[in-house]
Structures are given as structure tokens and as C-alpha cells.
Amino acid sequence: MNDKLGNTEICCEDGHIVKRTSGQANACCGSETLDTRWQSCCAGRVVDSPGLGCCGTVFYSKHNATCCKGVLKEGLGSVLAQCCGTEAFDSHLFMCCKGKLWLRQEGLECCGKDWYNPSTHLCLVEELQPRQSASHVLCGRDQYHPAHNSCCNGVIQGKKEPCLSPTSSSQMCGTVRYSSSELVCCSGRLLPRQKGWTCCGDALFNPRTHECFGEIREKGKQRTLRPCGRNSFFDPTFERCCVNGSSLGQRYGPGHTCCKGTLHQTSGTGLYGGQCCDGKGFNPETHFCCNGEVNDQSEWQRIGDNDFLEYSLDRICCAGRRFPAWGGERDCHGGLPFNQHNQTVCGSTVHNVTRGTCCGDSLYDPSTQVCCSGHSQIRPPWAWVECCGTQLYNTSDPLQLCCGSRLHHLPHHDHGNHRCCGDAIINILTHDCCSTPSQQVAHPKEPHMACCGHRPYNSTQEHCCAGTLYPAGPTHLPHIECPVIHVKDLYLQTPCNHGGVLVGRVETVLQNENYTVYTLRKYLQWKRPSGLWKSSETQEPWVKFRLHNCSCPVLTPLQDYAIWLPKSPQGSSLPPVPELISPLHVTTDMSYVLRLLIACQQEKGNPHL
């Protein structure tokens, strides 16, 4: 792969080259790319939320739902569930026999849709036979004793008789011999032969009236074809394209998967449902990949999202890597097996300590130590201790300011006039900071200078809309200041003068010509009706607000935000929000917000408490 391809493009599994949509993109999603650490893909669509599953064209959380043959089942997470047809089940309690669920009992196995005891019966293509003895095995449809006879091409013969080649019409379908003049074998299923008909998966169809694209479809429907390699075409509405190293393409539909330019049959998969294992395709609902080999899930117990324990308890597979389980390892963490009764996994290290607390690859004591970016340090005697990169600092010290992962020491005489701009500090009396979630740019304060995303511009010569600059001209933009503000910079925005604060997660987004309306699921709402901040308990857990498309940034769905509300007139259902703090992760920054509110209540100008 040349430098240009490695830096700006990605070679996808089907042989297509796709331009990277970001520098960190590491996988393909249809005609787009994504960063799998922060994003998920489903049917060619990308969302900014990692680890989501894809069921047909629907994203879902693997923690509380399972996708079985394109049907989404709520209530049982796919981390521990397996599929039986379109039903999800717990493999600890049930076993699946050809789409039918049975209560699991030790020693029983499946024969077609029924269960049986292999010590008393034999299974012949979904039919049960009483076992003549514990030593008898099948030869075709009949039983024989290996000590007395042998099996040749499905026929029982004498122990010492030679095994001759089968007749031209005698073939095998799975473990059963059949006559090809009377029957046809479709994906391991025997069907009566019909003149002119051929296989489509495990079914027969008439190619004069129908077509096979993983499923049988009636001919004559209008299709929009796209090139597939240099020799073929495919219909993207229900087909995909597999291109090999010679740029030769092959179209395929559900039930097949393209891996490294080679097409593999993966029965039961949707159009985007198959996965690859070291160049081999498989159905992730029934199999999994471990050490480059495809394994049948029916022989393993699912113990995590991509973790499996063999029912014999001899081996364990963690994040695609197989390990022996001789030491009682029954769980995986970080791709490593461990015994939760006497071990703890920290990063890439297993410690022989029960339920220890990790800091990087090491253990630490949270009562006496603080962990900063994988480095443990002795806990200092400060009331408010936080990490700045790998350093500890006292948040009550007004002379210290953490920007990104860099700790700055401010001058005594004007420490209150400094703020962060990226990982640097600026003096707000002389400089401004223009920022987007990925970039921050400092610039000197000058008349008519404003920010358009992370770019400063002269407002007398240009105007900004949705992060794009246009030549100056008559505009009808509302006069709204709508910056993205980091939570640690809130003390510069005089929060005490606002009407309230709302903390929650963006759940829905509705965009129209001028405004985008957001629905926020509330975690916390504080108001100050009489000068005091009070927690507001309301029956409705949702709130809607709107932001102007030109003046305000785009909020990310499923991201947490804190919104400082203006003192708006009564009865205004969707007031423009003048200030946003983004991103605000409640679990780590809520304490800082609460300290600001306490400072306002106590009428203190300095939030460092």
C-alpha cells in the first residue's frame, strides 16, 4: 500500500478504495469510512456512537437487544444471547435444534428439530433410529458394528472387502449418499430433482422465471446497475460487489460474504451480515472467529461481546485470541483470560489479586493514591484534587489552570484574565480563541473580528453561516452568541447571571430551514427564581430547545451537554440558547458544575472552592 493510499484512502474488503472522511478512520462503511473507536456502521450509514450492533438497517445496543435473522429482539443482550431462528435465547438454559428451543439437559443433542440421547439413539438426516448397541454407527441409512463390518460409499460390506469407486450417479450430500439422477443437494439439503431447476441456497428455483440473489426474486423488475470490477455489474439495492486482486468483480447477495476478494457462502446472513476471519467468511449469529479459525457457537458459551468459553472448559477465546483455560479462567477482560475468584486484569497484565483497582497496567489503592493517565501517585491533602495529564493539581488554587493535558501556572497579578485555548493559555484582555471540537486557534483582539468555527474573520468583509465563510452582504441572522465552551472555562462566562442550568443528553434532532430543534433527556435542572440555585424536579424528563443553523454549532446525538439558560420571557417554549458547554461528561465534570452553582448561591465570584 503506497503512502497516498495509507494516509488518505482505505482499501475495503470488497476491493474498493474509499477516501478517508477523517484522519483516524480505520474501516469502511459502504461508500464512507469510520473510526471504530468512536463510531458504528450499519447498512452503509455511520453514527457517532461506538459498539452499536446492526440489525438490517437499524442500529441497536448490544447490551439489551439481540438481532436474529434481521429481527430485533429486546430484553436479552447479544453479549450473552444466541439466536434460534428469529428468537434470542440464553445458551445456559436452552439449546436450539433447527430453529426450535428446548430446555438444556446434560448429555442431550439435536437431531433436526428434536433432541435425543446419543447413547440410546442415532440421528440420520433429522430422523432418529434406536441404537442397536453402544458401538453401532451409521453407514448411509443403516447401522453396523465396526468390529464386524466396514462402510464403503454408504453400503455395509465385509470387514476385509475392498472399497470400490462409487457409480457416476452416486454422490454425497453432507454425510448422506444419494442418487444424483433423482435428487439434488442444495447447501446440505436433499430435494427432488426438477428439470431445468437449480439451487438458490437450500432451495430450488426456475431460472426462466426467477433470479437468485441470496433469495429467490421474480424476474423483470427494473434495476439500477453499477460497475463491479472491470467485468461485471451489480444492483446496490439488494446486491454487493466482490473484487479480487485482478480487478475482476463478482456480484453477490444475502447468504454470501466477500473476504479479501474471494466470495464465501455464509448461510443465513443478510446483505451486510457476514464477517471475515483471516480471509474466510462466516455468519456471526452462528459462528465466531478465534485465532483465524471459524468456530461453531453451539460448542461454546458466549461470555462477552466477542468472548467465548468452550463447554468442555478446556479453552477460552478472548477478543479473537484463543487461550488454554487450565487455571480456572472463565472470564475475559481487555482481551485476556482470567479467574475472577483470584485474579484482576489491568491493561495487558494479569495480577493474582481478587477485585483489585487498576491504574494502567498496575494496581493501586484509591484510598491513598490517585491515578492520572495510567500513573499512580500519592494522594495529596487537598480537598479538590484532579488530574491534568499525568500531573496532580489543586483545583482550589487560582494560580493553576489545566488546559487539555498541560498544567499552567498563572501570574499572581492578573490570573483571573487567563483562559484555555486548546492546550495553551491566552490573556482574554488581549486575545480571543476560536474553536471547534477538534481545533482551537488564538488570535489578537481587534475591532470587527469574530469567529467562524476555529477561524477568525473580519465581520465587515465576510459573514459566517454554519462554519462556512461567505462574502459580506445583507444577512438576516439573529444576533446570537453561541460558542462552544469547555466546562472548565465556565468561570469566565459569569454563570451567576443566568436563569438556570440544564444538564442532559441529546436524544433527537429535527432540522428545518433556519433552526435545528433538539430534544434533551434531562439529568439535572437548576433554577434561581429568587437568587438561589435550586434543583428543579419536573414530571416531564424531556425538554426541547432550538439553535440557529448559522450561528450555533451542531450538537452530537447521544452526547451529554450542559446548557446555561438565559432569563427568557414567560411562555417561550423554544428560546434560542446563547451558550453551550461541550462536551460535558456528567460522570467526570458534574462536580465542577455543582461547585459553580454553590459559588453562585454563596455569591462568590471565584468558583475555585
Nearest to 49 by CA among 560, 552, 523: 560
- Give the 3-state secondary structure of 296-338: EHHHEEEEECCEEEECCCCEEEECCEEEECCCCCCEEECCEEE
Radius of gyration of the chain (CA): 32
Please check whether residue 245 is in contact with residue 279, taking contact to mean a CB–CB distance below 8 angstroms.
Answer: no
The pLDDT value recorded for residue 491 is 52
Please check whether residue 145 is in contact with residue 152, taking contact to mean a CB–CB distance below 8 angstroms.
Answer: no
| DSSP string computed for 417-465 | GEEEETTEEEETTTEEEEE-SS-EEEEE--TTEEEETTEEEETTTEEEE
Please check whether residue 21 is in contact with residue 32, taking contact to mean a CB–CB distance below 8 angstroms.
Answer: yes
Q: Which amino acid, one-letter code, is at 426?
A: I
C-alpha–C-alpha distance, residues 258 and 113, integer Å? 31
Nearest to 555 by CA among 574, 580, 530, 535: 580
The pLDDT value recorded for residue 264 is 94
pTM: 0.45
The pLDDT value recorded for residue 170 is 64
C-alpha–C-alpha distance, residues 338 and 345, integer Å? 7
Q: Is 489 helix (H, G, I), strand (E, B) or coil?
A: helix
Question: CA separation (Å) from 513 to 226, 477, 549, 550, 576?
Answer: 34, 12, 8, 10, 15
Contacts of range 601-609, beta carbons closer than 8 Å, 24 or more positions apart? 601/528, 601/532, 601/533, 603/496, 605/496, 606/398, 606/491, 607/490, 607/491, 608/384, 608/395, 608/396, 608/397, 608/398, 608/491, 609/384, 609/396
C-alpha–C-alpha distance, residues 32 and 10, integer Å? 10
What is the mean pLDDT of each successive set of 10 residues along the chain, which is 609 residues long? 53 73 76 81 83 85 79 74 84 82 85 88 83 86 85 78 59 74 81 84 79 68 70 80 87 91 90 90 93 92 89 92 92 89 88 90 91 88 81 84 83 80 82 75 82 80 78 56 60 56 82 83 66 51 80 77 63 45 51 65 45
The pLDDT value recorded for residue 493 is 46
Q: Count other C-beta atoms under 10 Å from residue 257's C-beta.
A: 28
The pLDDT value recorded for residue 604 is 44
Please check whether residue 143 is in contact with residue 131, taking contact to mean a CB–CB distance below 8 angstroms.
Answer: yes
Please check whether residue 553 is in contact with residue 454, taking contact to mean a CB–CB distance below 8 angstroms.
Answer: no
The pLDDT value recorded for residue 3 is 33
The pLDDT value recorded for residue 279 is 92
The residues near 36 (Cβ < 8 Å, ≥ 6 apart) are: 26, 27, 50
Please check whether residue 307 is in contact with residue 317, taking contact to mean a CB–CB distance below 8 angstroms.
Answer: yes
